[in-house]
Structure 1
């Protein structure tokens, strides 16, 4: 596949792609905030700068764009120019490394995909809420055991 844009046109196009505060991220954050949840946004102190972070229960939520993070990549990667195939494969590998480091540091990691949010925000929020409830229960049980000592 040949790039049909000049280098300056490609540069302009790429400069307009948002790396944070995308419509999908804002929709998730608004829904969580309206339910009373409080969180940190784009936590630069954590590997991968998770989009939404619940520090008390150590939950890092990544809201990933389908193209840039390679949703179902194997089914469409053959259509890409070598540059883009390499770029997205690198993004996916980096995502896996960051998730592994976060888990090693005791964080729970969630990925929410762009197409899932667009097709139904409520199920995505429900997934996050279920994970938060499980983590809160684990933290409460752990705190109870520590208090018994």
Structure 2
């Protein structure tokens, strides 16, 4: 059952941010605490990654579960039962397709892509940092690390 009025829902949706979200701030703080420099919302790369470690050629995206279609095979049937189903299914499907295209484009440009779900970042930022550090280590072994930061 729908508990929000259309006006309340409009206000909620209007307040959803695309930059400097809570999950981005949590992960950036964890990176800062570990001494890593980064760029945020880096427009020089496809998809404008939320966080970029240019020295290591790592592009990081902090994805919300709903808008980026986590467990899409479960979420999609739920949306089909709800209001405005066609709009949401179309919107999220396009987000999933765009995320996939951005990943491929960045990989083609020899960048490593890491995508974290928002709940992963909120519950276990230390594990996210561990994944990033392991990727840095692997990139150093592969020679993906840049000589100088861009």
Shared fold per TM-score greater than 0.5 = yes
CA RMSD of aligned residues (A): 2.3
Residues 103/115 of structure 1: CA separation in 2 closer, same or farther (3 Å cut): same
Structure 1 residue ranges without an equivalent (≥5): 144-149
Would the aligned equivalents of 1:50 and 1:60 in 2 still touch at CA under 8 Å?
yes
Q: Distance in 2 between matches of 1:47 and 1:113?
A: 19
Query: RCO higher in 1 or 2 (8 Å CA, sep ≥ 6)?
Result: 2
Please tell me whether the aligned partners of residues 57 and 139 of structure 1 are also in contact (alpha carbons under 8 angstroms): no
Pair 87,38 (structure 1): closer, same or farther in 2 beyond 3 Å:
same
Match of 2:96 among 79, 92, 105: 92
CA contact (8 A) 1:28 1:121 kept: yes
TM, length-normalised to structure 2: 0.85
TM-score (norm 1): 0.85
Superposition pairs of residues 1-149 of structure 1, within 5 angstroms: 5-6=5-6, 9-80=8-79, 81-139=85-143
Q: How far does residue 60 in structure 1 lie from its aligned partner after superposition?
A: 0.4
Match of 2:82 in 1: none
Alignment length (residue pairs): 142
